[in-house]
Amino acid sequence: MTILVTGATGNIGGQVIQHLVGRGADVRALVRDPSKANFPAGVTVAKGDFLDVDALRTAFDGVSTLFLLNAVAPDEFTQALVALNVARSAGIERIVYLSVIHPDIYVNVPHFAGKFGVERMIEQMGMNATILRPAYFIQNDLTIKDVITGYGVYPMPVGTKGLAMIDVRDIAEIAALELLRREQAAQPLPLTRINLVGPDTLTGTDIAAIWTDVLGRQINYGGGDTAAFEQNLKQFMPPWMAYDMRMMGERFLTDGMLPEGGDVERLTTLLGRPLRSYRDFASQTAASA
């Protein structure tokens, strides 16, 4: 009984592997470049990517449970469908898929729409899966740390509706727990969806106030201009991705990213501890600067 982790060299995938190994699971990791793989002892490495069908067939052979994580890419939708079809052909009936919260609402945001299409395939094909739907990753804000500390501005277009931001460490632990739950079940478990949210729903002004407290000086919210946000992102990511992120930011402003009733309680029970907060992240980030 083997759990295959995709996206294994990324932040979430690497942490998922650590949790699984720590709980005694037999783990295989799918990586593009095995020379970059640095996993705990006992983890098997399979070379390949989502568009190399033969490599996927080899990697999926003998796997009982799959963790499917696709990075944001122009062909993310195709990658996920190929992986799921190959998994189905390999007889894998236990899947945890990392989607995104509210993909049925953010329908004009490319990477949200792609993930919703993948969810539809899982459901229509009758696949046994947990679909994890995380909100905005708290650690995304590491990319703007220098703007906050250097210019006194929190620049993300969070708006006034609020985002239920979640720590990636909580995402990884929940994913590992779900993988083990499915792996250890006597029979494949039915489809379920879980919103992954943080303990607080924060507006742009709320977040600026947290940074003001943590840093001991005034930090202002300045993230309402999505055009400027796109231009800034184009300095360190491809134009298509910067535009995708702008579309997401515009939906933050109009819709927010809100939890549903009972989400926080469900996750707290699942973890057996409180969810990590944005204030904790800001404090830790400031202390390590």
Backbone angles phi, psi at 20, to 5 degrees: -65, -45
Task: Judge whether 28 and 59 are in contact, CB under 8 Å.
Answer: yes
Q: Are strands 65-68 and 3-5 parallel, antiparallel or unpaired?
A: parallel
Q: Are strands 129-134 and 27-31 parallel, antiparallel or unpaired?
A: unpaired
Contacts for 29 with CB less than 8 Å, ≥ 6 apart: 4, 5, 8, 9, 13, 17, 37, 39, 43, 44, 45, 46
User: How confident is the model at residue 288, as a pLDDT?
Assistant: 87
Residue positions counted in the chain: 289
Collect contacts of 114-118 with beta carbons under 8 A, ≥24 apart.
114/76, 114/77, 114/80, 115/76, 115/80, 117/77, 117/81, 118/70, 118/77, 118/80, 118/81, 118/84
User: How confident is the model at residue 223, as a pLDDT?
Assistant: 80
* Segments in 196-262 forming alpha helices (H): 204-215, 226-233, 239-255
Q: Are strands 129-134 and 94-98 parallel, antiparallel or unpaired?
A: parallel
Task: Judge whether 189 and 181 are in contact, CB under 8 Å.
Answer: yes
Q: Are strands 153-154 and 27-31 parallel, antiparallel or unpaired?
A: unpaired
Look at residue 63 and give its three-state secondary structure.
coil
Question: pLDDT per position in the chain (289 positions), as tens?
Answer: 899 999 999 999 999 999 999 999 999 999 999 988 889 999 999 999 999 999 999 999 999 999 999 999 999 999 999 999 999 999 999 999 999 999 999 999 999 999 999 999 999 999 999 999 999 999 999 999 999 999 999 999 999 999 999 999 999 999 999 999 999 999 999 999 999 999 999 999 999 999 999 999 999 999 889 999 999 999 989 999 999 999 999 999 999 999 999 999 999 999 999 999 999 999 999 998 7
Helix axis angle, 53-60 relative to 76-89, nearest 10°? Answer: 50
Return the bridge partners of 3, or none.
27, 65
Q: Are strands 192-196 and 153-154 parallel, antiparallel or unpaired?
A: unpaired
User: How confident is the model at residue 65, as a pLDDT?
Assistant: 98
Q: What is the token pair recorded at 10?
A: 């990324």
Whole-structure pTM over 0.85, yes or no? yes
| Domains in the chain: ranges and CATH | 3-135+167-196 (3.40.50.720)
